[in-house]
Structure 1
Amino acid sequence: MPKSTIAIQTSQLTRSFGSLVAVRELNLVIPSGEIFGLLGPNGAGKTTTIKMLTTMLPPSSGAATVAGHSILGDPVGVRSSMGYVSQMISADGALTGFENLLLFARIYGVPKAERRKRIDDALGFMGLTDAGSKLVRTYSGGMIRRLEIAQSMLHRPEVLFLDEPTIGLDPAARHQVRDRLKELRRSFGATILVTTHDMDEAEDLCDRIAIMKSGLIAAEGSPEELKRQAGTSSMDEVFIHFAGEFSDTANFKDVARARKTARRLG
């Protein structure tokens, strides 16, 4: 099947939890090969959107496709065409980097004859060749994140979803992860949808950005377009302009999850 020119498309995508509408009639078109940022305060609907697109959560109404596959009609096709890196650590610290990748290669159904080369290539691409034989519990936070991205790309998906990929990392590690993501796009044409609260990261990494507020898209465009619309040169000011003041509404679960991730990566 030829690769679709549209990587992600949503049409009136909606998700309700009782009387709460978490995502309301979301319409997005993300071309193949784009790095797209989904931004917004806590509770804006970002994670719910990703959960629907990755088939972890069914929509209440509307539709969406990922790599040409319907999230409702062909969820298996969606999952085979995507990779996903969540905030929480998925790598097993009791295994080596190579063993973690081997486990994921088996899960993703990578042909046995190709596994060694793909794992070696993934370690090399992510700058982890020398660390491949070491236990992951000895890795730094940045190394763990790079390993997890390598895991998610082993089956060569068209679309990669990343939920706060640099949370808890020091500045040097954040730059390393961002550089690898850019290289993934250059080398493999991967489409990347990323959520982040780091506005400098969004400006550096993303071709286009959508800012969500209360389940709706408040603004969408390139970082430069959004700055012009907001009449500012600061991406922090762009966020405030379209989403309101920086959110202080994170609940206990949000804060605990972020702190747990930061501790484990730190």
Structure 2
Amino acid sequence: MQREDRQFVDAFARGLAILEALSREQRPLNNGELSRATGLPPSTVSRLTHTAMALGYLRFSQSKRAYELTPKNLTLGYPVLAGMTLLDRARPLLKQLSEETGETVGLVIRDGLHVTFVEVVQGSELVAVRLATGGRLPIAVSAAGIAILAAMPDRDRRILATRVRAHLAKRGGNVETFNAKLVEATELGICFIRDAWRRGIGGIAMGLENNGEMAAITIPIATGSVSEMDMHGRLADALRATIDLLRGTAGGAHSVQTGTPSEARRRSH
């Protein structure tokens, strides 16, 4: 479409058209499908998808041979978060978990080789770790990142773990510690981290899959105030119960719709 506005940047509009088409269709699209959806020439679409991938806004699904949006798009605005059904289901459970434990609680999604906090409920304890929605941490040193890896299918886990190790090694990180924590989290179904990201900070996390997207609930803790026994006992029990409730809300009419983490633990016994 011809525009008389000299301030209008056609290249920017075309790039947004690609993202809008993927958001509208809610499924991966290849270059041909994107060309038909946007009315842009195939050669233009090819350059735009290449650029969007380089910037981290798109990724190419090898299994579907098509492009899909990445969590990085969430950084463009909070309204994107409002449409996440997982977030809607998780909000009251995060609040309950934080109130029961006194600790900060977060919902985290994978963002390339990092994880991003899409919801944070601040803890009531004076020593509770303070985090912000939108904060990012490397997968290799975060309980949430390792928990997400541990919850992935074997093949996907191996591929991503290889990339994480390479990224960690380039920055002089401790690959052996990462490997050990990943094995432990895969075996236990829950990840425990102490003093990996920053001295004095640790975390507990469990991963889950939501419509093909990996996420995790995490409880960051101050290691000077929360013992390993408390992490593996009281906090881990509360987190497991919350994950059970969250998974239940995705199950339909027979799912668990109400109840606190402590009530869920009593029912399980």
Q: TM-score, normalised by structure 2?
A: 0.30
Higher strand share: 1
TM-score by length of 1: 0.31
Bigger relative contact order, structure 1 or 2 (CA pairs below 8 A, ≥6 apart): 1
